[in-house]
Amino acid sequence: MKKVTVLGSGMVGKAIAIDLSQKYKVQAVDQNKYLRKEFDKLKKAYLNIVDLSKKSNIKNVIKDCDLVINALPGFMGFQALKTIIKEKKNVVDISFFPEDPFKLNKLAQKNNVTAIIDCGVAPGMSNILLGYHYHNMKVTDYKCYVGGLPANPVEPFKYKAPFSPVDVLEEYTRPARLVEDGEIVEKPALSEPEGLHFDETGSLVAFNTDGLRTLLKTIDVANMSEKTLRYPGHRKIMSIFKESGFFDKKPISMNGCTISPLNFTSKILLPHWELKPGEKEFTVMLVKIRGQQDGRQVEHVYKLFDEFNSKTKTSSMARTTGYTCTAAANLILEENYDRKGIIPPEYLGINDKEFNYILDYQTQRGITYKHQIDDVE
């Protein structure tokens, strides 16, 4: 039986470990000892309590596995991925680190490693959808709207984070890169708010965030953007925080202590944003891909609405992020994907067989991307 090591076993990492344990032996690794009780219930997955901030520890826990899942926080992700590649292990990465992943491409190719990165929901499935149509039509426009939200929003933030608030706040501070008329442009995060209505959620507000990532280098489309979805009112509060300096990274001194405002704000927000076990939430995504196909102007529209699974007690964000990742992991483990180097998710959409496998894999787990084609005048 093949063995998978999952680095990071929080909400998403645990869902990944459980899913992969249906077919493989899984070692989940985390420094949070309180997770042990949850893993003790599993037959083919166990938890190893290790501090993964040390490179030597990462090398040790992955030395005898067939595949690594990197589900560490973004600030640890790049260096962990580099270590994994140096150890010549195939890997699927959902750490969403801010560094340029293609700096590791030559190293991955040299070490004969398949390193699929950004393999979640968005980035992830959104890229796979665009990659598929990019290779089957002349795409001119791409828009993605996506958000993970609590089913029962509470004032004032009307938001809960399925992962660390500091990673969420990064989305609100990093300049958003978009493509307009073939040129990459930067706009402030939280800018250009846009109201949208979804039957399942009601009114939401979308705003610019830096979600295109690898698409800026791999896909030549004249107009591309990604916006994050939140309940009305949330953006305004975050804008006030941002403009007031609460998201600044530069440390300040106060009463003999030094701390960055961003870290301070994250600590303050944690109890307000913490998603409690069993708390209902959902993921909503709308992807629009417009262009010329078979001599006519069309727009492919994909809609996703996924909710907390009450039966398995698995959050929607863990499901939609985790099962894209585990689908890609299975492609590698079943020896159905062997391209070497840094593989952004849009590359998984190139081949019909791989594209349909990933969609079918998620459909089997109750995650459905509804697809419609509209004629454009």
DSSP state for residue 33 in the 8-state scheme: G
CB 288 within 8 A of CB 300: yes
Residues 230-269: tens digit of each pLDDT: 999 999 999 999 999 999 999 999 888 899 999 899 989 9
**Integer angstrom CA distances of residue 2 from 21, 65, 75, 137:** 10, 7, 29, 38
3 burial (CB, 10 Å; 0-12 / 13-18 / 19+) is middle
Contact 307, 89 (CB under 8 A): no
Instruction: Answer for the pair 135, 349: CB distance below 8 angstroms, yes or no.
Output: yes
- What's the CA gap between 342 and 220, in Å, rounded? 18
Helix, strand, coil content of the chain in percent (nearest 5): 35, 30, 35
CATH class of the domain whose range is 125-307: alpha beta
d(CA 372, CA 304): 12
Q: Is the dihedral of CA 10, 16, 22, 28 positive or negative?
A: negative
List, as one string, the DSSP characters of 262-306.
HHHHHHHHHHHHB--TT--EEEEEEEEEEEEETTEEEEEEEEEEE
User: The tokens of 172 are what?
Assistant: 């609100």
Delimiting residues of CATH 3.40.50.720 domain(s) in the chain: 3-121+315-366
How far is it, in rounded angstroms, from Cα 333 to Cα 3? 9
Structure tokens at 135: 């290779």
pLDDT digits (tens, 9 = 90+) for 93-145: 999 998 999 999 999 999 999 999 999 999 999 999 999 999 999 999 999 99
Options 3.40.50.720, 3.50.50.60, 1.10.1740.10, 3.30.930.10; CATH of 3-121+315-366: 3.40.50.720
* Alpha carbon separation from 161 to 14, 316, 377 (Å, rounded): 16, 12, 40
As annotated, the residues of the chain forming the CATH 3.30.360.10 domain(s) are 125-307
| Cα(197)–Cα(132) distance, integer angstroms | 27
What are the structure tokens assigned to 149, written together? Answer: 């939200």
Model pTM score:
0.94
H helices within the chain, ranges in order?
A: 11-20, 36-39, 55-62, 74-86, 105-110, 125-134, 165-173, 215-218, 234-243, 261-273, 316-333, 352-363
pLDDT in tens, the chain (377 residues): 999 999 999 889 999 999 999 999 999 999 988 888 778 877 778 899 999 999 999 999 999 999 999 999 888 999 999 999 999 999 999 999 989 999 999 999 999 999 999 999 999 999 999 999 999 999 999 999 999 999 999 999 999 986 667 778 888 999 999 999 999 999 999 999 999 999 999 999 999 999 999 999 999 999 999 999 999 999 999 999 999 999 999 999 988 889 999 989 998 998 899 888 788 999 999 999 999 999 999 999 999 999 999 888 899 999 999 999 999 999 999 999 999 999 999 999 999 999 999 999 999 999 999 999 999 87
The pair of structure tokens assigned to 194 is 């846009």
**Rounded to an integer, what distance in angstroms lies between the CA atom of residue 79 and that of residue 55?**
8
For residue 152 the two structure tokens come to 């029962």
